[in-house]
Amino acid sequence: MTLSWSQSTLGGSQGAARFQAAMNKAFGTNIHINFLPGPDMARVVNQVATEFSAGQKAHVDIVLGAARRSPRW
């Protein structure tokens, strides 16, 4: 599994290693995470959207993104 986010998000490569260990422990799997340091979330999401629109394979398997919450009126 390839994951990509910036080194300043979710602990960067060390965070990805923690996700891998926790996931494999919780589910009894032996999944390997390939961490690809990348730009901030907005840029990664935009790149995946562009790849999708062009009918190309995404460069990552999972995208993490955050959305701002609008105030409730």
Dihedral over Cα of 44, 49, 50, 55: its sign: positive
- The pairing of beta strand 2-3 with beta strand 34-35: parallel
Q: Give the tokens for residue 2.
A: 């390839």
pLDDT at 73: 61
**What string of DSSP letters covers the chain?**
-EE---TTSTTHHHHHHHHHHHHHHHHT--PPPEE---S-HHHHHHHHHHHHHTTPPPS-SB-----PPPPP-
pLDDT digits (tens, 9 = 90+) for 29-44: 999 999 988 888 888 8
pLDDT class for 49, splitting at 50, 70, 90? very high
